[in-house]
Amino acid sequence: MTHYRNIVILTGAGISAESGLATFRDQGGLWENHRIEEVATPEAFAFDPDLVQNFYNMRRAALGTVAPNAAHKALARLEAEHSGQVLVVTQNVDDLHERAGSKNLLHMHGELAKARCRPCGKVHDWREDLHQTTPCPACGAAPALRPHIVWFGEMPFHMDMIEAALYEADLFLSIGTSGNVYPAAGFVAQARSYSRAHTVELNLEPSEGHSQFAETIHGPAGQIVPDYVEKILGGG
Ligand code: OAD
């Protein structure tokens, strides 16, 4: 049995890399051949909505071609077998954590498999392509629907719940994230100062903020995350 009670886990694109989804900064700031600002800002959507919708349509369709890997599954196992709280906070917009079985999960940067109506605010589960002509199923407006994604310059979701969990955490894990994008990059410092949590980075290589962690483990998530979960469930 682990001696930790409340575990908060931040994940980033690196946890989904072995499932076949491209990370952001590993390719020199390009995401599937686009500069992030070209497709992931409100200005980009205002300038060329069809380009942005098509970009996310392709990402959404790609979800059907990938599957959770051993790292996603290990975190779901941790949640199922740990006697205390486990919260996964993901920056990822894919659905691989939930498909692996994670239940206590917050998507702070939104979800590819959802669409939001700008006029009425309703959020819909969405697996199909979105077009400017697609009417909102709730209010009928068009153009109205946008990807339920947090773009640069917009406020991440669920910050109150994340802050509250960081106050209670005694173990904070950061998995597969480069530590470049705030507020997520600041969670390690918050966990240390709010609750004196033990902090661990699990990443392919040392991230931007690796020196802020008490412990660092480097290697592919599909190996190091199951090993670490085994260790903490075994009492390590
Ligand atoms: P990044 O692409 O910035 O970083 C991915 C990290 O994963 C890097 O540090 C890699 O070394 C590591 N990595 C790659 N393959 C790995 C593997 N197999 N196992 C473990 N680690 C691996 O992605 P994020 O940090 O998630 O925001 O990016 C944060 C945010 O920036 C994203 O959510 C997105 C982006 O702009 C928004 O869209 C708002």
Query: Which atom of ligand 1 is the closest one to the Cα of 25?
Result: 2
Atom of ligand 1 nearest to the CA of 151: 39
CA distances from 40 to 35, 36, 142, 222, 228 (A): 9, 6, 21, 28, 33
Task: Determine the distance separating the centroid of ligand 1 and the alpha carbon of 109, expressed in angstroms.
Answer: 13
Cis bond upstream, residue 183 (ω within 30): yes
pLDDT values of the chain reduced to their tens digit, one per residue, 236 residues: 568 999 999 999 999 999 999 888 776 666 778 888 889 999 999 999 999 999 999 999 999 999 999 999 999 999 999 999 999 999 999 999 999 999 999 999 999 999 999 999 999 999 999 999 999 999 999 999 999 999 999 999 999 999 999 999 999 999 999 998 999 999 999 999 988 999 999 999 999 999 999 999 999 999 999 999 999 999 76
Distance, CA 137 to ligand 1 centroid (Å)? 34
Number of residues in the chain: 236
pLDDT score recorded for residue 236: 67
User: Are 14 and 221 spatial neighbours (Cβ–Cβ below 8 Å)?
Assistant: yes
Report pLDDT for 194: 87
Q: Nearest 5°: phi and psi at 231? A: -65, -45
Q: Whose CA is nearest to atom 2 of ligand 1?
A: 24
Atom of ligand 1 nearest to the CA of 11: 26
Lining ligand 1 with CB less than 6 A are 12-14, 17-18, 23-26, 36, 40, 91, 109, 150, 176-178, 180-181, 203-205, 207, 220-221
- Residue 186's Cβ-side half-sphere holds a number of Cα atoms within 13 Å equal to 7
| Alpha carbon distance 232, 236 (integer Å) | 5
Enzyme catalytic residues:
109
Going by alpha carbons, the residue nearest to atom 18 of ligand 1 is 220
CA 71 to ligand 1: nearest atom: 19
Phi/psi of residue 106, nearest 5 degrees: -120, 125
**What's the rounded Cα separation, in Å, for the pair 188 and 166?**
9
The closest residue, in CA terms, to atom 22 on ligand 1 is 14
Spatial distance between the Cα atoms of 229 and 236, rounded to a whole number of angstroms: 9
Q: In whole angstroms, how large is the CA radius of gyration of the chain?
A: 18
- Tell which one of 97, 108, 155, 178 to mutate to probe ligand 1, the residue whose CB is within 8 A of the most ligand atoms: 178
Q: Which residue spans within 94-197 are E strands per DSSP?
A: 105-107, 110-117, 123-125, 145-149, 171-175
d(CA 166, CA 169): 5
DSSP state of 4: -
Residue nearest to atom 9 of ligand 1 (CA): 178
